[in-house]
Amino acid sequence: MRSPPYQCRFPPQKRDPKGEPVSLVRRAAAVLFRALAGTVMLVVVLGAVLWVRSEWHSRQLERVVAVTREWPKRSIGSDGIGLVDVRTRCSEARLYYLVTISRPEPDLKATFMADPDFAAADDTIRHGYLTKDPAYAALSPQDRAAFLAYLRSGNQKQPTNLRRVAITKRRWEEQTRNALEKITLRFLDKDGFLLTSVDLDLAGFTNQFGSDGVVEQVEANGSTSCDRAAFARAERLDVVWFNRRAR
C-alpha cells in the first residue's frame, strides 16, 4: 500500500473585507502604524504629566518667594551714618525691593554723660546746660522733665525725640550722600554662599520728607531680574557700602 504523497500546507492567507488577499507588507505597515500611534500617545501622556508637575512646582515656588520678606536692619557707613531697612519679594521672575536709609537715633545719654561735669551735676545745673541746645529749649516742660528723669535713671528707652545740634536732620541727608557712593545687597544661602546681588547707587535714592518738611530718610523702590529657585534659598542678607572717593 503506497503512502499518499507529501503535501506542504500553508496557513490560509488573510483577506481584506473585499475578499482581496492582504500582503505581508500591508500587514507589517499596519503593525508599525499601531506601534507608532501607541508611542505617540505615550509621549503625549508623559508630556502632559511632566507639564502638570512642572506647573504645580512653579506655582508652589511662586507662592513661597512672592511673600514680602523683611530683613534685619543694618547700620552702614564707617561712622554708622545710616540705618538700612530692606524689604524684598520675588514675583514672576522679578525681584522687587524697597530699601530705605534713615538717620539713626543718637544715644543722647552717652553723648551728655560723656562730660564729667554734666554727669556730676544735679537737675538744675543740667537744665541750665541743656537750654543752650535749641532742640531741648523747644520741648514742653513735661518733655524736659521726662528727659532729665531719663538721664538720672537706668532706663534705656529715650522718652523724647531730642536732637543734638551736631547731628541735625537737615545736615544728615547731605552728609549721607557725600559719604556714600552706593550699597550692594548680597543674598546668601544658609552656608554663606552668594546667590545673587543687587547694586544700588545713592544717586538713585529719593528723599522722603517728614511732617516738618525735613528729609527723614532716602529710599530706593525698584525691581530687577530674579531666579526664583535661588532666591528661595536665601537665608541671610549682607549690606555692603562703598564710600565716595574724594575728588
Mean pLDDT to the nearest integer, 113-135: 73
**Residue 119 backbone dihedrals phi, psi, to 5 degrees:** -65, -30
More confident residue, 126 or 99: 99
| Per-residue pLDDT band at 167 (split at 50, 70, 90) | very low
Listed ranges 41-50, 152-161, 213-222; the one with the highest mean pLDDT: 213-222
pLDDT of 209 strictly over 70: yes
Cβ 106 vs Cβ 160: under 8 Å: no
CA distance 213 to 234: 38
Return the CATH fold of 66-105+167-243: 2.60.210
Mean pLDDT to the nearest integer, 130-135: 69
Quick check: helix, strand or coil at residue 204? helix
- pTM score, two decimals? 0.57
pLDDT of 174 strictly over 60: yes
Length of the chain, please? 247
pLDDT of 208 strictly over 70: yes
What is the b/e burial string over 184-203, where b = at least 16 CB atoms within 10 angstroms of the residue's CB? ebebbeeeeeebbebebebe
Amino acid at 159: P
Q: What is the chain's mean pLDDT, rounded?
A: 77
**Residue 11 backbone dihedrals phi, psi, to 5 degrees:** -60, 150
pLDDT of 72 strictly over 50: yes
More confident residue, 28 or 61: 28
pLDDT confidence of residue 22: 53
